[in-house]
Amino acid sequence: MEKYERISELQLKLSELRKSKTIGFVPTMGALHQGHLSLIDKCKSMCNITVASIFVNPTQFNDKNDYRRYPRTLEKDGEILEKAGCDIVFVPSEKEIYPETDERIFDFGELDKVMEGKFRQGHFNGVAQVVSRLFDIVNPDKAFFGQKDFQQVSIIKNMVKQLNLTTEIVVCPIVREQDGLAMSSRNMLLSDNQRKEAINISQALFYAKQQAPGTPVNEIRDEAIRRINSSPELKVEYLEIVDANTLQTVSGWDDATEIFACVAVQAGKIRLIDNVQLK
């Protein structure tokens, strides 16, 4: 595996490879786990060359403490990527990605007014800034994102359309721990007790899946929230049952063809998200 910190050097290498090979890209913020590795595997199965990036993007953190606390395990990440058969890892500095402050403001209409966008003001603008910048640098044929960040996938697809990019977005399923907790870099920050109780998040979503579509949407939503909040360490920030296309809440099962339950939970200071398809 080759490691690059400089855009110019990475681009020189990629321009050579591009002549005969397809380039796949997996952007990450590091602290890698099996969820990230599933994206690497998918990328390797669909593209000749797999490029991963590790960059904890400051512009997508609305909470400075969250940014400071975010786990950074660069050395271990390198070993994991090497073992996984990643070809190239791009590890830029902040100056390399943002030589000047990125002033761009994206308009995602209603897509970023709800859920993560509502509770993390400016988060998706920062995501769009960094992903568009990384796409510009890597210019991948395909880029791989996890369904774990359900709303992020909608935002990225919308951004690709707005900017007329040719990169194909490939969405990969959520990888879970054995007990059902969605894998996340933030899981390692949980206390033992928080980790034990965090199982209730996916349990509540699986319960919702089991009940749909026999039970009214609002009854399921209320009961799922109640089940999570019954754990002393957990506090639901939002739990919404939404149309997968518009991300707006539905009131009945016939309101949309694809319906997801999306949740954000505060476990002490650690914020966890998860989702499941109900229809």
Site for ligand AMP, rule CB under 6 A: 28-29, 35-36, 38-39, 145-146, 148-149, 172, 174-175, 182-185
* Element at 53 (helix H, strand E): strand 49-54
Exposure string of 162-173, with b = 16+ CB inside 10 Å and e = fewer, is: eeebebeebebe
Task: Out of 36, 195, 271, 279, pick the active-site residue.
Answer: 36
Give whichever of 124 and 145 is closer to ligand AMP, judged by the CB atom: 145
Measured distance CA(199)–CA(242) in Å, rounded: 22
Give whichever of 28 and 129 is closer to ligand AMP, judged by the CB atom: 28
CB of 33 to ligand AMP, least distance (A): 7
Give whichever of 229 and 266 is closer to ligand AMP, judged by the CB atom: 266
Q: Burial, 83: exposed, middle or buried (Cβ in 10 Å; 0-12, 13-18, 19+)?
A: exposed
Is 33 labeled as catalytic in the residue annotation? no
Contact 278, 261 (CB under 8 A): yes
CB of 226 to ligand AMP, least distance (A): 25
CB of 184 to ligand AMP, least distance (A): 6
Q: In the complex, which residue's CB is closest to ligand AMP?
A: 146
Nearest-Å Rg of the Cα atoms of the chain is 19
For residue 57 the two structure tokens come to 């993007």
Angle at 152 between CA 147 and CA 153, to 5 degrees: 55
Helical packing angle, 150-162 and 123-138, nearest 10°: 60
CB of 175 to ligand AMP, least distance (A): 4
Give whichever of 28 and 200 is closer to ligand AMP, judged by the CB atom: 28
Q: Which residues are catalytic?
A: 36
